[in-house]
Structure 1
Amino acid sequence: MHAWEAIQKSVDYIEDNLTEEIPIDKLAEIANLSPFYFQRLFSRLVKKPVCEYIKLRRLARAVSDLKVKNSRILDAALDYGFSSHASFTRAFKETYGITPDEYRTTDVHLNQFVKPELILNYVMVDENVPLVTEGIVLEVTRRELTAPRTFIGIAKEIPISELLGGTDTSISFATKLWNEFHEVKPKIPHLLADGNEFGALYMGQAREGYCTYIAGAEAEHGSAEDGFAVFELPSAEYLVCGFEAESFEELTNSAVYKAQTFMTHWMEKHKLTTTDFAGEMYYPVKGDCAYMEHWILPVLIK
C-alpha cells in the first residue's frame, strides 16, 4: 500500500465519524502506522495537522446543518464535539470571520476546507481518458475555439486567496457575485437563450492581493451593454478539464477543488503552465448530473 492510500483510509474514516470521538491512535491503526509517523505523514499530505483537519471538517458539516437542517446552534455544537455554544462560536468565527448567528441571518456562502482525494495527486491519465474518483468524473481534452465568444456580466475584485478553493476558509466573494448576477440576468439584453454561463479570472487592473472575476453569460458576439462588464474568449487552442458531479452544490464546492488539484498535478507532469487567465464554463444541470469545464491557455515550460 502506498503512503497516500494509508492516509486516505484515515481521511475516509474521519468523514464517516465526524459526530463521534476520533482518537489519534485509532486513525494510526487504520493507516497501519505508529501514531508519531501517522501524524507527520498526515500533515504532509493533507496540509493540516490531524486535529485541525478534524475541526475544519466538523465545522464544514455544521455549516450545512445550520442552513439546510435549520439546527439550533447549541445542537450543532454538541453534535460535532464542541463542549459549549461559546466554544463552537469562537471556533466558527476564527475559521470564517463571522459568528454562527451572523451566518444564519446573512445571505452568504462559506468556503470550506474540502475532504481531499489524495489519488488526484498521484494518479495520471492521458488526454481524453476519464478519471473516476469519489463522486466525480474528470477528463482533460484540447479544444480549438475557431471563433471568439462574448460574455456579459458583472466584474469585481476578489481576494487571490479565494483561488485556493478547498483549502481557504472564508466568505465566498465569488458566490456573492454570482448571486448578484442572477438577480440582474433577466434584464441584460443580447444574451443567448441557449448560451453558457461563464466565470473568468484574470488580473486586469486588480489591486495587489486581488484578481478580477467576472460572472456572466454568453451573448451575441461583439455585443455590449452599459453598466455591465464584457469578456471575450478569444480564438485559440485551450486545455479543458471537464468534470461532473452528482449535484450543482457538489460541483461548485468540493468538485471544483478536486479538479484544480488534479489539473495542477497534470500540468506539472506534462511540463505545462498557464497564463493569468482561467475560465469556468457552466452547463445546464441534467437529471442527476451537473457538469462544468475549466478552460485555460496552456504554455509549454522551456
Structure 2
Amino acid sequence: MDWLQRMNHAIDYIEENLESDIDYDQIAKIALCSVYQFQRMFSFVLEVPLAEYIRRRRLTLAALDLQNRQNKVTDVALKYGYKTPESFSRAFQNMHNLTPTSARNTGCQLKAYPRLSFQLILKGAVGMHYRIEKRDAFQVYGLEDIYNYDNIANQQGESIPEVWQNINKNGELDRLLQTVPGDWQHEGNFNKELGAVFAFDSYKFTSNTTFPYLIGCYRSENSKVDGYTIVDVPASTWVVFSTLSDENESGRYDLSTLKNKIFSEWLQTSKLNILDGGNFEMYCTNKDGYEYCELWYRIESNSE
C-alpha cells in the first residue's frame, strides 16, 4: 500500500467515526506512522491541523442535521461529541456565525467543509536541494516549553513566534547566547554558517495532542548549562533541507512552502522514512550576510 492509499484510508476512518470518539492511535496505525508524524504530515500538506479538520467536518454535518427541525439541538450536540449545548453553540457560532437555533431558518447562510482526500498531483518541476548527514550522539540545552498541536501555543496561550519575541525583549535570548563558547561549531563539527541558537522540537513524547519545543544550543565542553533543560540527541542519520534555492524566483523558500514540499513531494518519492525523536530548525547566515534556515529530520538508515 503506497503513501496516498494509507493517508486516504486514514481519512476514511475519520469520516466513519465523526459521530463517535476518534482514536488518534488508530489513525496512525492505518497510516503506518506515529501519531505525531501523521499530524505533522496532515498539517503541512493540507495546511490545517488534524483536530481542526475533524471539528470542521463535525460542525458541517451538524448544520445539515439541524435543517431537520425534528432533531433537537441537545441531541445534535451529543451526536458530534459536545458535552453541553453551550459548548456546541459556541463552536457552532465560531464557524457558522449564527446560533444552532438560527441554522434551522430557511435561507440562512451556513459554511460547509467537504471531506478531504489525498490525490496524486504532478509537481516537482522545481528541484529540492538536500543532503544526508550522519552524526554521533550529542546534547543540546536551552529553554523548553510544551505546545498544543492544534493551535501551536503553550499553556499561557503564546505562539512560538510570540515566545521568541518575548525572550528577545526580556533578555533571556542574550543570556542564552552568553552560555555558548566561541569554539562550539568546531567542536561539534558544524557548518560555520549555523547560528548558536536554534529550535529543537518533538524529541520526546508528551501526549497525542502536544509536543515539546526547545530554544537552545549545542552543548560543548565549556557550555554553561545551569538552569537550562538538557536533552540527549541520539546518534542518527539526518536529511537536511535548506530554504535557499537558486531555482525559484525569489532565491529562497519560506518555511511553510518548504515543509509542504518535503511532506507532499520529497517524502512520497524518496523511499525514506522520517523518524520520531526530534527535528531541528537551524538559523544560518552565509558569507554574504544572507540569512536562511535549515530543517533537519531524523531518517532511517541501513545501520538503524
**TM-score category of the 2 structures, normalised to the smaller one:** 0.3 to 0.5
Normalising to structure 2: TM-score of the pair? 0.44
Q: Give 1 or 2: higher strand fraction.
A: 1
More helix by share: 1
TM-score, normalising length from structure 1? 0.44
The structure whose Rg is larger is 2
